């Protein structure tokens, strides 16, 4: 049974329209797979949830409570997606943070998306988004609930063969895709955008940064423009649900089949096992 | 009885964590006073709600439904605040807008804030916010639910004598305050920031733009920096709840008592009567 959820550990609970997560997007979230009852990369996911809560001044719920919610929702044979949302809690009106705000914790069980098999074997096609991400260093990297830019960007295409859309910022730097982070390979260098002005710093991006040297790649977290992206030998996108896909096409640009995505995916799966 | 609300016209309803208003801030809102059962500036409020819904591709609920929700919540002797939230509705997961998304409409009754009387008679003191608003032309002007910038800016001060905080954008232009719009007077010119890159275009701002010529002011909707603000003869801030307050102090800058706020407030009240 899917689309079940717990609010503060309770099944019968509901949100009210006074929750600041709704009113202002005043909260953060994470999304990750749960296989046979075990949340993937849990220590990294929880660390990022805590860091993101801290950045907004929200008290992050203890890991034990979230894990117990996940255990209550998932049985040991399921392969599902868990989404955790933490909001600042209820407020009456106005942006000022109530002194006694009690964070609300929501744990939602969802079906694993049914990605086409050829995305994994042959790679994917991307759209280049017209929308440019705004520069907000105070929110950059955080997986917060203010995601209208992603929603508007995702509205730009309806082609079911397009897996995601590349987002540039208002200064023309490459940042990410609407639901994934990205890496370029130039020779033995793996480049991924610096996310200090915009974008979401995903857990799988961090895992790839951490593992790349052991696979023989030099990592560069840097600013670069579309021209550098189009000149890359290979391009891959990643997130916690699908792992890594090679990009074979971005608008008129085509890349040959490569081994980077399979190598990274293989290592991620090995580490998860 | 306050903090009552209707969701899609029903008292017993509640939100689920699958509402995209919570998940992504995918929705819009308005806040306005209701006196003796009559919503203030309703035609303008509803027009802006519709325009903001359209900008996000959300179908705005008919005015008749919202008015009937307000009538159900407010009796004819009350002086309260109504907040209307319209979200894109529920979605399972992912930024793509579900083809069958049914917007959710929330109408919430709140207490009128208890503003100090001297804010009206003597004027207010403002904070100059460190946070700079990001430039996002696709969302500028819209009263959408992605309001973390306002939340973070409002966290910058705790002094109860500070009524609001002035926000500049990342290029140094003056934009607005965290919960209000602003006007400067230079001689007989009334200037208010252009909101095509950031900010919320409030209804009271629009009413002042529309009425200013009949009060003998020339209106300029323009870009200007902090220096121009500090050089003004008078400064006022406005929103739909308090009307207009004169600004007497912004950090080290002080303004003499003036008549602009009282003139504008007088005309707004006359038009509301």
pLDDT above 80 for B180 = yes
Q: Give the number of domains in chain A.
A: 2
Top pLDDT among A70 and B98 is at: A70
Judgement on whether residues A137 and A97 belong to the same structural domain of the protein: no
CA distance A150 to chain B (A): 7
Judgement on whether residues A41 and A160 belong to the same structural domain of the protein: no
Alpha helix ranges (H) inside B74-222: 117-121, 148-154, 203-211
CB contact A241 to B (< 8 Å): no
Judgement on whether residues A122 and A106 belong to the same structural domain of the protein: no
What pLDDT digit, counting tens, does each position of B44-69 carry? 999 999 999 999 999 999 999 999 99
Judgement on whether residues B73 and B124 belong to the same structural domain of the protein: no
Helix (H) or strand (E) holding A50: helix A42-56
Q: Mark A138-173 as b/e (b = at least 16 C-beta within 10 Å).
A: ebbbbbbbbbbbbbbbbbebeeeeebbbbbbbbeeb
Window 50-109 of B, Cβ < 8 Å to A: 56-57, 81, 83, 85, 87, 92-97, 106, 108
Residue A240 to residue A254: CA distance in whole angstroms:
25
Q: Where a domain ends, among A62, A79, A111?
A: A111
Preferred mutation among A151, A165, A177 to probe B, highest tally of B CBs within 10 A: A151
Q: Where a domain ends, among A83, A111, A139?
A: A111
Q: Give the range among A100-104, A106-110, A168-172, A261-265 with minimum mean pLDDT.
A: A100-104
Q: What pLDDT is recorded for position B237? A: 98
Preferred mutation among B25, B101, B199 to probe A, highest tally of A CBs within 10 A: B25
Q: What pLDDT is recorded for position B47? A: 98
- Give chain A positions within 8 Å (CB) of B5: 16-18
The three-state secondary structure class of A208 is: helix
CA distance A16 to chain B (A): 6
Judgement on whether residues B96 and B185 belong to the same structural domain of the protein: no
Longest dimension (CA), chain A: 56
Q: What pLDDT is recorded for position B1? A: 53
Q: Where a domain ends, among B111, B130, B165?
A: B111
Find residue A118's DSSP bridge partners. none
Tokens 């003869």 belong to B233
Q: What pLDDT is recorded for position A96? A: 94
> What is the extent of the structural domain holding B172?
117-272
What pLDDT digit, counting tens, does each position of A63-106 carry? 999 999 999 999 888 899 999 999 999 987 799 998 888 999 99
A 10 A CB-CB count for A111 gives: 13
| The pair of three-digit structure tokens given for residue B180, joined into one six-digit string | 């209000």
Task: Report the alpha-carbon angle A103-B133-A21, nearest 5.
Answer: 20
Least CB–CB distance from A85: residue in B7, B17, B139: B17
A 10 A CB-CB count for B210 gives: 12
Residue B25 and residue A106: Cβ atoms within 8 Å? no
* Mean pLDDT for all residues in chain B: 95
Residue A147 and residue B16: Cβ atoms within 8 Å? no
pLDDT band at B2 (very low <50, low <70, confident <90, very high): low
Residue A187 gets the label, from left (phi > 0), alpha (psi -120 to 50) or beta, of left
The three-state secondary structure class of B168 is: strand
Residue A171 to residue A132: CA distance in whole angstroms:
8
The three-state secondary structure class of B108 is: strand
User: What CATH code is carried by the domain that includes residue B97?
Assistant: 3.30.470.10
Average pLDDT of span B106-123: 96
User: What CATH code is carried by the domain that includes residue B234?
Assistant: 3.20.10.10
Backbone φ and ψ for A267, nearest 5 degrees, come out as -70, -40
Judgement on whether residues B158 and B263 belong to the same structural domain of the protein: yes
Alpha helix ranges (H) inside B140-225: 148-154, 203-211
pLDDT above 90 for A210 = yes
The three-state secondary structure class of B28 is: strand
Backbone φ and ψ for B166, nearest 5 degrees, come out as -80, 135
Least CB–CB distance from B24: residue in A18, A96, A145: A145
State the complex-level ipTM.
0.96
- Give chain A positions within 8 Å (CB) of B159: none
Residue B272 to residue B117: CA distance in whole angstroms:
20
Preferred mutation among A17, A58, A160, A171 to probe B, highest tally of B CBs within 10 A: A17
Helix (H) or strand (E) holding B42: helix B42-56
């Amino acid at each position: 049974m899917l689309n079940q959820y717990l609010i503060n550990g309770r099944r019968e609970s509901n949100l009210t329209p006074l929750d600041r997560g709704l009113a202002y997007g005043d909260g953060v979230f994470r999304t990750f797979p749960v296989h046979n009852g075990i949340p993937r990369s849990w220590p990294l996911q929880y660390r990022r949830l805590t860091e993101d809560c801290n950045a907004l001044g929200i008290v992050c719920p203890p890991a034990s409570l979230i894990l117990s919610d996940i255990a209550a929702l998932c049985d040991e044979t399921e392969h599902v997606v868990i989404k955790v949302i933490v909001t600042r809690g209820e407020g009456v009106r106005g942006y000022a943070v109530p002194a006694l705000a009690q964070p609300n914790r929501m744990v939602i069980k969802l079906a694993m998306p049914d990605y086409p098999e050829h995305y994994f074997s042959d790679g994917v096609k991307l759209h280049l988004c017209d929308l440019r991400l705004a520069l907000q260093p105070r929110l950059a990297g955080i997986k917060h609930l203010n995601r209208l830019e992603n929603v508007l960007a995702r509205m730009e295409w309806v082609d079911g063969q397009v897996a995601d859309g590349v987002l540039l910022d208002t200064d023309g730097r490459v940042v990410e895709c609407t639901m994934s982070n990205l890496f370029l390979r130039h020779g033995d260098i793996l480049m991924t955008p610096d996310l200090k002005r915009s974008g979401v710093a995903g857990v799988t991006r961090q895992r790839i940064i951490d593992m790349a040297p052991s696979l023989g790649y030099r990592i560069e977290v840097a600013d670069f423009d579309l021209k550098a992206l189009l000149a890359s030998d290979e391009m891959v996108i990643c997130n916690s649900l699908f792992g890594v896909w090679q990009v074979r096409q971005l608008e008129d640009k085509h890349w040959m089949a490569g081994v980077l995505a399979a190598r990274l995916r293989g290592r991620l799966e090995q580490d998860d096992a």
